[in-house]
Structure 1
Amino acid sequence: MNILRVFVAMLACTIVGATFVSAEAAPRAGQLMVVQAVPGLSVEVILDGRTVRQEAATAAVLGPFEVSPGSHVVRFADASGKVTMTSRVQVRPGASSDVVLHRPAAVGGDPVVHVYKTPGAPIGAGKARVLVAHTATVAPADVRVDGQTVFTNIANGEFATAEVPAGTHEVAMFPTGETTNPILGPLEFSLAPRTVTRVYAVGNPSSDSMELITSSKKLSSDGTVAPKRVDTGSAGLAGAPGATRSAPTGTSWAELLLGLRKYTAVGG
């Protein structure tokens, strides 16, 4: 009887241990967002063979869709059959990516697909992270935030990231090297603390179709303290041109624009 009890106990421990290891080893799901950034077009969006939106109009943001780590296929098709794009996306455990359908820089060019990985690292209190991507039908451009150029010479398909104080900011896009006659903006929008906001500039200035598509996601804290003051200047990122808001004097933008980086996105 004692031998039987010992055997049963050992078997139970083995089963529990195997279950624990199996649960612990299960990979975290990833996320995909799909952005339809082609002006004047409506497309069917198909993820891994399943239609997730029959008619995605311009500026549609779909998802997030939870997917297993590994390779996934996103397909776009319009009713006429003239636009058919397929993109294969690699998803890492716990990571998030945006799959963006947009026009190239060349006027009249066929739509293209780029994949932008969400910069989801923890962030300090009172800060927000932005990813600005050039997905419009224009030449390389500079992006000004609150009147200061922070991203330069971004070409179609490229993107840049930065960390800024949370709050309302003003953003405008200009032809590279210029500071007057913006292609887009100035526009105002608010950035909530401990979030990452992806901003996609889309459209064509010659047809007056320029706009911003945005999507935000919460981030965890990295334990650092919030910035207490910001240089005096205009605030915003979408809204009426020339709208300004004063901020207290103090820490410079050079100290607050943290981790400024420029990248080339992954093509679909």
Structure 2
Amino acid sequence: MRRFGQSLAVVVSAGALATLTIQGPAAAAAAESMVSVVHGIPGQPVDVYVNGKKTLDNFQPATVAGPLSLAAGTYDVALTKPGEPASNPLLENKALAVPGGKNLSLVAHLDTAAKPALTAFVNDVSRTAPGKARLVVRHTAAAPAVDVRAGGKPVFPGLTNPKEAMADLPAGTVSADVTLAGTGTVVLGPKDLALAPGTETIVYAIGSADAKTLTLAAQTIKNLGAAPSSMPTGNGGLAADTGTGSWARPAAGGLLVALVGAFLLRRRVQRASR
């Protein structure tokens, strides 16, 4: 996995809501993407290989790794049992397409038949209107169609695996839950979600209904309320150092350079307008 573009947020644990907060890096090359990975397969730690190279060791369910900055291209991503080689994968995508200049979330999860699957989502990091927050819900659990409610009212009805739904809502705290489609039977939640202005909250339904491991995971992308000077990404401090050197966080020095550059540019514009 060369430098993976978004953050890899993997979450699978009963009853816990994990939150990944993504901050903006100092600068990102237009041809690269930021990739997050979500581990939504219950009870199975894995090693992660990218293009045959081990990138994550003993990657645990309900944990987050990343982000990685990946150049546009096609990657071979394999998940194995800890200690197993890439040639003996539990789950593999030999042609994971990473477009340039995108924000991606790669989710290892269960499909409707409770079989492991890898699904890549492109995150919408377009600007939000003043006072608005973006809410995205992704059905990545071994469960039937569901309705997602906010404040007791259906917001995203009839959502199926592996689909997503999205809406820009007034900022504030909402109580969200998940019910079986067309019924009032709650299968997840309720859970309070703080939707801050200029943020995107991505909620994942993960786990298995039959195995009673259903839970929610939340990923937050910040700094969408104003014109960004760089692609919103980050790691939220949830990924432990794997020792491989491939999952590096953006350097603080780069952020300082970007801030100084923005200040100097603003001064030039002010002088030119006088």
Provide TM-score, normalisation by structure 1. 0.67
Q: Which has the greater radius of gyration?
A: 1
2:143 partner SS: coil
Q: Distance in 2 between matches of 1:48 and 1:193?
A: 39
Q: Distance in 1 between matches of 2:152 and 2:94?
A: 37
- Residues 8-87 of structure 1: matches in 2 within 5 Å? 27-79=30-82, 81=88, 83-86=90-93
The number of equivalent residue pairs is 195
For the Cα contact (< 8 Å) 2:200–2:224, is it kept in 1?
no
Summarize the Cα distance change of 1:195–1:48 in structure 2 as closer, same or farther, 3 Å threshold. Answer: farther
Summarize the Cα distance change of 1:48–1:32 in structure 2 as closer, same or farther, 3 Å threshold. Answer: farther
- Residues 140-155 of structure 1: matches in 2 within 5 Å? 140-155=145-160
Summarize the Cα distance change of 1:87–1:166 in structure 2 as closer, same or farther, 3 Å threshold. Answer: farther
2:186 partner SS: coil
- Work out whether 1:96 is the aligned partner of 2:103: yes
- Residues 95-114 of structure 1: matches in 2 within 5 Å? 95-106=102-113, 109-114=114-119
Q: Distance in 2 between matches of 1:175 and 1:102?
A: 19
Q: Distance in 1 between matches of 2:171 and 2:54?
A: 37
Instruction: Compute the RMSD of aligned alpha carbons.
Output: 2.0
**Stretch of structure 1 that moved more, 214-223 or 141-150:** 214-223
Provide TM-score, normalisation by structure 2. 0.65
Report the equivalent of 2:121: 116
CA shift digits 1:64-112 (9 cap, x unpaired): 1111122233221124757232253323332111111111122xx3201
CA shift digits 1:13-63 (9 cap, x unpaired): xxxxxxxxxxxxx74421111111001111112233332321122122221
Q: Distance in 2 between matches of 1:201 and 1:50?
A: 30
Q: Higher relative CO (CA 8 A, sep ≥ 6), structure 1 or 2?
A: 2
1:93 partner SS: coil
Report the equivalent of 1:262: none
For the Cα contact (< 8 Å) 1:27–1:69, is it kept in 2?
no
For the Cα contact (< 8 Å) 1:124–1:221, is it kept in 2?
yes
Identity %, equivalent residues: 29
Report the equivalent of 2:206: 202
1:221 to 220, 225, 237: 225
Q: Distance in 1 between matches of 2:53 and 2:197?
A: 35
Amino acid at match of 1:200: Y
Q: Distance in 1 between matches of 2:143 and 2:173?
A: 26
CA shift digits 1:90-135 (9 cap, x unpaired): 23332111111111122xx320111111011111222111221111
Q: Distance in 2 between matches of 1:220 and 1:84?
A: 34
CA shift digits 1:203-255 (9 cap, x unpaired): 123433111111111243368xxxxxxxxxxxxxxxxxxxxxxxxxxxxxxxx
Report the equivalent of 1:139: 144
Q: Distance in 2 between matches of 1:87 and 1:173?
A: 33
Report the equivalent of 2:271: none
Q: Distance in 2 between matches of 1:220 and 1:176?
A: 31
1:135 partner SS: strand
For the Cα contact (< 8 Å) 1:35–1:101, is it kept in 2?
yes
Unaligned runs of at least 5 residues, structure 1:
1-25, 224-268
- Residues 165-184 of structure 1: matches in 2 within 5 Å? 165-179=170-184, 181-184=185-188
Q: Distance in 1 between matches of 2:51 and 2:172?
A: 38
